[in-house]
Structure 1
């Protein structure tokens, strides 16, 4: 089945159904852990996703700057996910990106279908819904819009929505500012491993080759949210992932054996460390397992930008400086493309070669 023939979750949700089709119902062992996301978000006890204030990341004062970098490094090592505040990306640009993305999804499904992708033929950019190619054979309660946003010379502008008219200028400006933030974060993470500042950025492809792929996730209201997931548990394959959302909770992180719900922190960007950085750091920085819950009352939209190394040009493996006699390499050498395949095989139960 090609993606353009997959059912649009939005159409299902607005059809007035009271129970969800069986292919959206999660396996029994997962259902035990799915609660009401609004109740979960209110919980104050237990661990909370760290909030990192980046206002001092460029401070003239060496000590102040060091303190900021240490906090970011600690969050990357302990959690692999954090809320970034004072991140330097203008509120205006972020607002415009959100307004434009929401306006695209507010259009009738027939209008969005003009941008439908077709995974079967390798056309992955565009409007789509997840196919059941995952481990559980279940579908996820989301539609999405996916496209490459940076570097500029690699973008396919024919796939970018013409309506609303601000979609292209807002998204292009956001991608440019986010690319600058990625450089800053990679510098701090490099220093945190005792490497020179530009090392990790170079290892993931540098300004020319690091790809920024945007996926706008649209999670319609769900009549039985206790049975479904917006996105099933996974780690990101990227180097870094940056996420905006419309202040409706949904993100959960698997931390110390429990699902922890991320609070909605105003004016923040959520950042995940992805598998790529976990591999390069030999597991010192964590790529955390996470998933998305849905709800009955509110549509949730999130804007995820995945910063990915080129598929074939770089061999991802632990950097020599991250290994010692007592800390051997935890990951075998692979290209990014091979890592993607490895994860797909693992999820479908076909990978019996190794356990990592």
Structure 2
């Protein structure tokens, strides 16, 4: 099966011709210049600081964020910057491989229209009602638990890709466990209540790396649609 052409490959030809394919050009009302907020106050998403030593304050902060916004930004989560940088580095190295075939080895091999998984390397295939596409490629796979991982979707090059992902997954699970315990306490439950209810050891963690190639018309396209 020949894989659908990646946006990265398409970008090289597009930069030379300076002509964007019509299926990537968003309607006027969806173009970045029309949708970007340029003025006025911006409401701040609640921030939860895991370095807070007063547990009562921490539980209150996460409870308020969950009940008012339903989301929050986690800071001082103890995921080392070095681990995050290594993950970003191997992701960048993968997309910068000169061999398209090597990247496609991590793609879903099912034929178009067949039973395809959500994992692997490829272009963003989601289209809206008008058939518009987004200007990005991706690499998507599970990083936990080991029983759910399909290593077909994990690049062998760069060689340190697996190590960087496994290291990041370890720290991510630790941070996630802390958040679940705080949320449990905020609900007036025992700290392990949500973890037990969710089956924390078998919770699936996914990783998605989005790659946005250079574009000659960045004011006309979107790298990610509302979701």
Whole-Å Cα distance in 2 between the matches of residues 44 and 83 of structure 1?
21
Indicate the SS of the match to 1:87. Answer: coil
CA contact (8 A) 2:29 2:35 kept: no
What is aligned with 2:156?
162
What is aligned with 1:117?
108
What is aligned with 2:143?
149
Deviates more, 1:221-230 or 1:161-170: 221-230
CA contact (8 A) 2:136 2:211 kept: yes
Please provide the CA RMSD for this pair. 2.5
What is aligned with 1:72?
62
CA contact (8 A) 1:34 1:226 kept: no
What is aligned with 1:213?
206
Whole-Å Cα distance in 2 between the matches of residues 194 and 103 of structure 1?
46
Alignment of 1:178-217 (within 5 A): 178-208=172-202, 210-217=203-210
What is aligned with 1:224?
217
Whole-Å Cα distance in 1 between the matches of residues 26 and 70 of structure 2?
26
Whole-Å Cα distance in 1 between the matches of residues 78 and 166 of structure 2?
16
Whole-Å Cα distance in 2 between the matches of residues 195 and 118 of structure 1?
46
Whole-Å Cα distance in 2 between the matches of residues 77 and 225 of structure 1?
37
CA contact (8 A) 1:140 1:229 kept: yes
Indicate the SS of the match to 1:189. Answer: helix
What is aligned with 2:35?
34
| Structure with the bigger percentage of strand | 1
Q: How many residues align?
A: 220
Whole-Å Cα distance in 2 between the matches of residues 188 and 204 of structure 1?
15
Whole-Å Cα distance in 1 between the matches of residues 34 and 189 of structure 2?
40
Deviation at 1:134, TM superposition (A): 4.2
| Structure with the bigger percentage of helix | 2
Indicate the SS of the match to 1:5. Answer: coil
Whole-Å Cα distance in 2 between the matches of residues 46 and 125 of structure 1?
35
TM (normalized to structure 1)? 0.56
- Runs of at least 5 residues in structure 1 that lack an aligned partner in the other structure: 235-356
Task: List per-residue Cα deviations over 1:178-226 (Å, max 9, x = no partner).
Answer: 1121111122222223333223333333212x11111111112222222
Indicate the SS of the match to 1:67. Answer: helix
Whole-Å Cα distance in 2 between the matches of residues 27 and 77 of structure 1?
36
- Runs of at least 5 residues in structure 2 that lack an aligned partner in the other structure: none
- Structure 1 residues 80 and 223, CA, compared in 2 at 3 Å: closer, same or farther? farther
